Amino acid sequence: MDEFVDAIGENNLVVGVFALYACYFVVLIAALVCMAVEPGAEWPIVFSSVTIFVTSTLHFGLVALGFTMDGYIPYPIYPEALFLYMDMLWAGALGASIHSFSATPSKRAVPITASVIIAVAQLACFYKSYRLFHDNARSKRQRQRIDDALPPSSRFERW
């Protein structure tokens, strides 16, 4: 897995994850709008529930995939507790959605609440992705300035 990250580049991976979270967010908002526009129809509830299930599976799948990488830190950005709580809320919203959809699939309250909770959790994921990208770019700029300041023979020895 580390070869994969090295091949595509860490910043490209972070940007890809950011884009994935943006897609999740847009689809969840679309599901909320559909439930508001079609108050009597059942299809918006199914659309919202499927969106919750798919985005949650992808999110927690990416987290699980991260644990297969050497040196993976699940919450690398301060405040770590914020991201931990967002994942816990996301998991709770997923559990409530699964229960609600299997018990009473025509009720709207749980899919609406779960969609809002997951959208807020995705905002935290946006922030984490932004910070990871920004911090990686800043780190590379700092390394480049150090290299530029060193004589050519020292650069080779350093790296």
Q: Is the dihedral of CA 75, 79, 81, 83 positive or negative?
A: negative
Q: Is the pLDDT of residue 22 over 80?
A: yes
CB 83 within 8 A of CB 122: no
Q: What is the pTM assigned to this prediction?
A: 0.74
pLDDT at 89: 94
Q: Indicate the residue type of 2.
A: D
Q: Which two tokens stand for residue 72?
A: 């993976």
Tally of CB atoms within 10 A around 118: 25
Helix, strand, coil shares of the chain as percentages rounded to 5?
80, 0, 20
Distance CA 143, CA 102 (A): 54
Peptide bond into 111 cis (omega under 30): no
Q: How do residues 52-95 score in pLDDT, each as one tens digit?
A: 999 899 889 988 988 888 887 888 888 888 989 999 999 999 99
